[in-house]
Amino acid sequence: MQAWPVDNSFQAFKRQLPICRNSVYSEFYDFFRDVIKVKRESAAIKNLETICTATFELASKHGFDAMSLRDLSRSTGISMGGLYNYIGSKDELAQMVNDFLSRRLAPMAALNNPKQDKPRDLLETLLRTAIYMGSLFRPWYRFVYMESKTMARKQRDQAKSFDLYDTQRLRELIEAGVRAGDMDCANPELSASALLAMVQDWYLKSWKYKRNNIDPDDYADFLVSTMDKLLACKDQ
Amino acid sequence: MQAWPVDNSFQAFKRQLPICRNSVYSEFYDFFRDVIKVKRESAAIKNLETICTATFELASKHGFDAMSLRDLSRSTGISMGGLYNYIGSKDELAQMVNDFLSRRLAPMAALNNPKQDKPRDLLETLLRTAIYMGSLFRPWYRFVYMESKTMARKQRDQAKSFDLYDTQRLRELIEAGVRAGDMDCANPELSASALLAMVQDWYLKSWKYKRNNIDPDDYADFLVSTMDKLLACKDQ
DNA sequence: GTCTATAGTGCGATAGAC
DNA sequence: GTCTATCGCACTATAGAC
């Protein structure tokens, strides 16, 4: 029984995803229609892109807490008062990024997944999706990873529970594979953590991978082959 | 030819290391004798421990930049003026931690390494050393990883070059193993990055590993077995 | 050697002009 | 809808008492 061939490339992923790098700020505007005071849509979307881009840039250089709204105002060319038509407060800006990624952007990738039965193939899809999403929206993922610890207690715990959730989802697939006899793994929990650490390294150390000309397909291929070795997968 | 059996446990590592958790602040005082204005040694060492411990705690909660010297003063019970007898400035405090780890603490582990020839065994020693050092001095490693990006340009570049150096050292050992016919690895650079990401995950996500009762020996054993699988090592 | 008090700076946020 | 001007506050760092 031969499964229908699946195109696992970054190209194919982008084609199927119901959002792209260009439409993300239009989605962002829709998502926060209620809190954003500016009603002229086209200008608002353009300014949101400017604000987010500058925030990612400044926060990655000195941390979100060290970034002042004066810095942000200077970088974006939008006055202090103008910024408050978009963000409510500085803390709220960080929360908006966090919420948009976890409630809107990330869920879109899940819709994209092909229907598969074998745990090993589900694992591959899960890992590839994480790498491809991280490639398309790297600044968002980086920001949430790095800054979630500085946010309010509630947000910090949320970040931890996302990490635990991801680890657990990987672990359960590994355990299912072992039960099915397709894999061999002495420590599903640690193996899941290791795979997750490799996923996160992709957007945390983008400078290193760019330097070495590793593209998303290269990294995803490597990650999947590592998974196959780590879990001694049959029929790779 | 049977090599002398090597004790690779955390216990054995601690026994051989010429520094321990208790003596680290005495070393710290020695290392910064010139800049620390307090000359009464015993009191100075005790206060340095209080200051560093509180700094790690506060910085891990909200980031070093968000931590104020008032917070630090309150946590340590040392007045604002008193702090300046130890640290010169807030930025200098971060640099002291960074310098002490990279110039004093980390080099001590290197002295500890047994003499070994085979690339695979050298790799094991390197990885175990990293995990055990990270276990003993976790807050130091965490702080430097998380805060180096917020430091001055020079320090940021230093952090990157340490990462590149570690990756390269791992890669060269992998390449040597492949040449010697002991390993099989299609992509030494990415394999080295993956191992390094797992090392760093150990001190970045300590909360997760503590939660699951993973101790340093468990993690080091898992890391080495992962290395053996990833590199298809012979004679493990 | 450690404290209190404070100088001087830059912050987040807002009110009100246009 | 965006700007300028400004308020009140918290910060780092220091000076001088003890």
Asked if B53 reaches chain A (Cβ–Cβ under 8 Å), the answer is no
Q: Is the pLDDT of residue B110 over 90?
A: no
Q: Which residue of A66, A189, A197 is in closest CB contact with B201?
A: A197
Q: Is residue A131 a contact partner of residue A198, using CB atoms and an 8 Å limit?
A: no
Q: Are residues A133 and A171 in the same domain?
A: yes
- Domains of chain B: total: 1
Tokens of A197: 């650490």
Q: Provide the pLDDT for residue B155.
A: 79
**The predicted structure's pLDDT at residue B48:** 95
Q: Is residue A99 part of a domain?
A: no
Question: Is there a contact between B208 and A150 if contact means CB atoms under 8 Å apart?
Answer: no
Structural domain contains residue A7: no
Average pLDDT over residues A108-131: 87
If asked whether residues A70 and A143 sit together in one domain, one would say: no
- Contact present, A170 and A195 (Cβ < 8 Å): yes
Do A167 and A66 belong together in one domain? Answer: no
Q: Which helix (H) or strand (E) holds A27?
A: helix A24-31
**Mean per-residue pLDDT of chain B:** 91
Report if residue A233 sits inside a domain: yes
Render pLDDT for B22-31 as a digit per residue (tens, 0 to 9): 899 999 999 9
Burial group, residue A220, by CB count within 10 angstroms (0-12, 13-18, 19+): buried
pLDDT at B98 over 90: yes
Predicted confidence (pLDDT) at residue A184 exceeds the cutoff of 70: yes
| Distant-in-sequence, close-in-space partners of B79: CB < 8 Å, separation ≥ 6 | B73
pLDDT tier at A112 (50, 70, 90 boundaries)?
low
pLDDT for B3 equals 57
> Residue A225: its pLDDT value, please?
97
pTM: 0.93
Residues A199 and A146 in one domain: yes
Q: Please check whether residue B5 lies inside any domain of the structure.
A: no
Residue B3 falls within a domain, yes or no? no
Domain of residue A77 covers: 17-89
Cβ–Cβ under 8 Å, residues B190 and A214: yes
Chain A hits for B61, CB-CB cut-off 8 Å, are 149
Q: Sort out which chain A residues have CB atoms less than 8 A from B199's CB and list them.
A: none
Q: Which of A56, A73, A89 is the last residue of a domain?
A: A89
Instruction: Give the nucleotide with minimal C1' distance to the Cα of B79.
Output: C3
Which among A198, A226, A212 is positioned nearest to B227, based on CA atoms? A226
**Per-residue pLDDT reduced to its tens digit, B142-156:** 999 998 877 777 878
Q: Are residues A130 and A222 in the same domain?
A: yes
HSE toward the beta carbon, residue A132, CA cutoff 13 A: 26
Report the candidate in A80, A115, A99 with the shortest Cα–Cα distance to residue A34.
A99
What Å value separates CA B146 and C1' D16? Answer: 38
Inside any domain, residue A108? no
Per-residue flag: B62 CB under 7 A of strand D: no
Question: Using the 8-state DSSP alphabet, how is residue A77 labeled?
Answer: T
Residues A136 and A223 in one domain: yes
**What is the CATH number for B226?**
1.10.357.10
pLDDT of residue B160: 86
- Nearest-CA distance from B71 to chain A in Å? 15
Tell whether A152 lies on the interface with B, counting CB pairs under 8 A. no
* Dihedrals phi, psi of A139, to nearest 5 degrees: -60, -35
Residue of A nearest to B163 (CA): A208
Angstrom distance (rounded) from CA A201 to CA B200: 10
Q: Is residue A102 part of a domain?
A: no
Indicate whether A69 and A150 sit together in one domain.
no
Do A61 and A134 share a structural domain?
no
- Express each pLDDT in A77-87 by its tens digit: 999 999 999 99
Is the pLDDT reported for residue A177 higher than 70?
yes
Most confident of B2-11, B145-154, B187-196: B187-196
Residue A12 lies in a domain: no
pLDDT (mean) for A194-207: 96
Interface with chain A: mutation pick from B222, B223, B227, highest number of A CBs within 10 Å: B222
Please, is B63 exposed, middle or buried when counting C-beta atoms within 10 Å of its C-beta (0-12, 13-18, 19+)?
buried
pLDDT of residue B111: 67
Q: Which run of H or of E encompasses A31?
A: helix A24-31
pLDDT tens sequence across A4-13: 667 899 999 9
Q: Tell whether A159 is within 8 A of chain B (Cβ).
A: no
